[in-house]
Amino acid sequence: MKKVYIATIGIVVILVIAGIFVAINSGPQQKKNITLSESGSTLLYPVFNVWAKNYTDPQYNVTITTQATGSGTGISSAIKGTVIIGASDTYMSNSLMSANPGMLNIPILISSQYVAYNLPGLNNIHLNLSGPVIAGIYNNSIQYWDDQKIQSLNPGISLPHERIIPVYRSDGSGDTAMFTSFLSKSCSWWNNTVGYGTNVNWPSNPASHGATGNAGIISFMESNPYTISYIAMTYTNQIAGKLGYAALINRNGVAVLPTTQTVMNAAAQYLNQIPPDGRISITWAPGNDSYPIATFEYLIIKQVQPDKDTAQALKDFILWIVNPNGGSSSKYLNQFYLIPLPSSVVNSVTVPLVNKITYAS
């Protein structure tokens, strides 16, 4: 009996020592490394850079890479699967959705753009401009800054007899989609002739000039007086003191300046109309205090991700973005004049779309 008893004790001691050895050597479990690649919107590029530096995931060691390639490239890259996230200032068109039914358009923020100009001596004044007048500038029917159609909107302001140089995005751009959506809704000629989208066939105008990205637009305009173009509000600090921007005539016939409040006023008109797939245009909103150019910002995502961990890390990141204590906090958004989604939209649209993200079995 003593031999059996001693042998049993020996086995127990060996097992305990082995357990301690395993526990010591295993240590804390390492987080799995996940890279979430993002490409697209130059409007969202500044805030994505800040998010990438500050985001941490409770489950994974996440690295976020970001590129300012334009919304059009962001959408196409997400469809091709060359990036995980396509950032866009617009949603995918019906034709693109029909051709690529496995894509999600997930709204995350609200944003807008300026119609900016470089008018020496007048950049501190907010000119009044309308959709039909801006369309006339781009289609070459309004060629000079002192044209009567511009002057009539700005009585008492001495405008120069200088050739207007309209500047447009030469890359596929959500900013272009936003701008041309406004023109299409406010000007029948534009709607019937040019239309809207991330790329359009711009009207023939010998004075016009194409540039790549918001940064390219700003650089060209700063170096060339008498230019006019559209620039994302996220670049407010870059144009301050260098370019002027307009008050736009809205759907109610009121000249309204772009501010986070007037953009939110516009978005508020549509909050109860957002479809389950998240795709909706919010330009040309009714209301005296609504700025006529506004948009939801989107993440274009493949519903089926390559593996379980990538899918979960992606879901974690998107939910952090729309969290008012996370990526949608004022410390991230205010510096870029971006507006968080109302909680009603997050809960009824964004979260259900995020929950659709799955992975290949």
pLDDT digit string (tens) for the chain, length 361 residues: 444 444 443 444 343 434 433 434 444 568 899 999 999 999 999 999 999 999 999 999 999 999 999 999 999 999 999 999 999 999 999 999 999 999 999 999 999 999 999 999 999 999 999 999 999 999 999 999 999 999 999 999 999 999 999 999 999 999 999 999 999 999 999 999 999 999 999 999 999 999 999 999 999 999 999 999 999 999 999 999 999 999 999 999 999 999 999 999 999 999 999 999 999 999 999 999 999 999 999 999 999 999 999 999 999 999 999 999 999 999 999 999 999 999 999 999 999 999 999 999 7
HSE of 343, CA atoms in CB hemisphere, 13 A:
4
How far is it, in rounded angstroms, from Cα 238 to Cα 223? 14
Q: Is residue 145 part of a domain?
A: yes
Instruction: List C-alpha distances in Å: 125 to 63, 87, 116, 154, 236.
Output: 44, 33, 11, 10, 16
Residue 193, domain extent: 113-269
**Same structural domain for residues 40 and 105?**
yes
**Same structural domain for residues 134 and 262?**
yes
**Same structural domain for residues 246 and 338?**
no
How far is it, in rounded angstroms, from Cα 168 to Cα 109? 24
**Same structural domain for residues 248 and 120?**
yes
Nearest residue to 263 (alpha-carbon basis) of 19, 86, 43, 93: 43
Give the single-character DSSP code of 356. Answer: T
CA angle 323, 327, 329 (to 5 degrees): 75
> In sequence order, what are the beta bridge partners of 192?
none
**Same structural domain for residues 233 and 91?**
no
Q: Is residue 52 part of a domain?
A: yes
Nearest residue to 198 (alpha-carbon basis) of 28, 70, 101: 70
Q: Is residue 289 part of a domain?
A: no
**Same structural domain for residues 254 and 183?**
yes
Q: Is residue 274 part of a domain?
A: no
**Same structural domain for residues 166 and 253?**
yes
**Same structural domain for residues 92 and 158?**
no
Q: Is residue 21 part of a domain?
A: no
What is the token pair recorded at 256? 């309204």
Helix (H, G, I), strand (E, B) or coil at 331: helix
Q: What is the pTM of this model?
A: 0.89
Q: Is residue 23 part of a domain?
A: no
Nearest residue to 61 (alpha-carbon basis) of 26, 35, 38: 35
**Same structural domain for residues 142 and 83?**
no
**Same structural domain for residues 79 and 192?**
no
How far is it, in rounded angstroms, from Cα 107 to Cα 348? 11
**Same structural domain for residues 247 and 300?**
no
Burial class of residue 81, CB neighbours in 10 A (0-12, 13-18, 19+): exposed
Give the single-character DSSP code of 251. Answer: T
Instruction: Look at the block and give the residue holding tokens 């127990």.
Output: 12
How far is it, in rounded angstroms, from Cα 296 to Cα 349? 12
Q: Is residue 246 part of a domain?
A: yes
How far is it, in rounded angstroms, from Cα 332 to Cα 357? 26
Residue 361, pLDDT score:
72
Q: Is residue 225 part of a domain?
A: yes
**Same structural domain for residues 147 and 105?**
no
Across the beta sheet with 60-68, the strand order is 60-68, 32-40, 85-88, 295-302, 103-111, 339-340
The count of structural domains within the chain is 2
> Could you tell me the CATH number of the domain that includes residue 218?
3.40.190.10
Residue 3, pLDDT score:
44
Nearest residue to 112 (alpha-carbon basis) of 143, 89, 88, 94: 89
